[in-house]
Structure 1
Amino acid sequence: MADKNQQVYPIAPSANGHPRSDEESLVAKEEKRKKMIKWAGYIAAFTVFQVLVIVVFALVVMKVRTPKFRVGDGLQVKALTSEPSVPSFNMTLYAPIRVKNSNFGPYKYDATAVTFTYGGATVGQVAIPKGKASFKSTKKINAEVFLSSGSIPSGIPSGGNLGSDLNSGTLTLNSKGAMTGKVELMLIFKKKKAITMDCTMVINVSSKSVQSVQCQ
């Protein structure tokens, strides 16, 4: 027989006045599970985003491209005298030298020289001082160079026919050069890059003008 003095305590009502049920507990657990899945999705998406950023950074920003070294647009004949019967020529060129850097860091290059040739023989040279092409920009070096066939033995270079070329009214010249330097990325990483110039220019002797310029 139960003790008459034993008290029976009722089940505590919930906030809405109804007893808490197992169903309500399951709903709370389900909501908690959904929240965990949602946060896991956020973390996974953020991780994928970070990986993509790193991959793009490595492929685009940190990729070292070879700069370009060439005679730019604007090459001009400032003075030209020629004598087909000798044969000989003297010429002063305004030569805009360009170092194009497409990297996300500066290209610091050493001093070098650009040699101008006719028929394989050197007819002139211009010095290029050491310098820097800033990131994603082109370094402009404006120079004048004097070219003369007087440095060619007997005035006729091997592989060329100066007299015939002067009579035809056109001279084909070449400019060549080699440049060494380093591309700097993030002020930490340095990558050596050697670049070369190989340009061909056609000079119209009659009009004393540049007919065409092509660089490889």
Structure 2
Amino acid sequence: MAEKQDAMGRAPAPSHVNPYGRVDEEVAEVAERDERRKKRMKCFVYLVAFIVFQTAVILIFGLTIMKVRTPRFRVRSASFNTFNVATANTNPSFNIQMLAELGVKNANFGHYKYQNSTIEFYYRGTKVGEAPVPKARAKARSTRKFNVIVDLSSTNVPTNLLADEFRNSAIIPLTSQSKLRGKVEIMKIMKKNKSTNMNCTMEINISSEQLGNISCR
């Protein structure tokens, strides 16, 4: 039997066909595309966050661990083995053997190896003593302490200058100077030459036979 036709002569759609099927497929496709877009955005955000984190780590690493600082070399304290001081105006003098404790402060994250050097002591610009500084190594983030024996003598100091000093005070003012040349080695991958200069002032108190007022820069 021929199928019935509508007024326009078209055959009616089969009753089992879902008129909303195409719409459902389009909605599913849109949802799938949106889900993929969200995943891509999430991956992009993660990638950016990782890059920022890595950059921050490298920056902090470069500004802290890999930054090379100048070590500090200074006189820390002293004691005396012999202490001969004559304060008479006619013939003032001093002959002192000093056991000085020195320190090399290394603030770097790597060892500081320095070469042999010399420390010199001056009284009012006149050299009155010196001592050798043997080569050694200051460990990372630590201070190397060691002692040197210095014979201080006023032989080259003008008598009138020393007489005026003893007349006005009971101290012997001293300055110390030295220079260490060495290398800072960080993580065995980077070595950098670093020199440090000592420039300290101090006073020997004649009455108490003690070293005080140490100031270094």
TM-score relative to the length of structure 2: 0.83
| TM-fit CA distance, 1:78 | 4.0
- 1:41 paired residue number: 45
User: In the aligned structure 1, how far is the partner of 2:177 from the partner of 2:30?
Assistant: 81
Find the residue that maps to 2:178 and give its secondary structure. strand
RMSD across aligned C-alpha pairs, in angstroms? 2.3
Pairing 1:81–2:84 present: yes
| CA deviation string 1:163-204 (max 9, x = no partner) | 222332111011111111111122122111111111111111
Q: Which amino acid aligns with 2:94?
A: F
Asked whether the 8 Å contact 1:83–1:166 carries over to 2, the reply is no
User: In the aligned structure 2, how far is the partner of 1:122 from the partner of 1:31?
Assistant: 83
Aligned residues: 198
Q: What percentage of residue pairs aligned between the two structures are identical?
A: 39
Asked whether the 8 Å contact 1:82–1:166 carries over to 2, the reply is no
Equivalence map 1:17-28=2 (5 Å): 21-28=25-32
Pairing 1:198–2:211 present: no
Pairing 1:148–2:153 present: yes
TM-score relative to the length of structure 1: 0.83
- 1:5 paired residue number: none
- 1:14 paired residue number: none
Find the residue that maps to 1:62 and give its secondary structure. coil
Equivalence map 1:11-160=2 (5 Å): 21-72=25-76, 74-85=77-88, 86-150=91-155, 152=156, 155-156=157-158
Pairing 1:188–2:189 present: yes
Unaligned runs of 5+ residues in structure 2 are 3-13, 18-22
| TM-fit CA distance, 1:20 | 5.4
Unaligned runs of 5+ residues in structure 1 are 2-7, 12-18
Larger Rg: 2
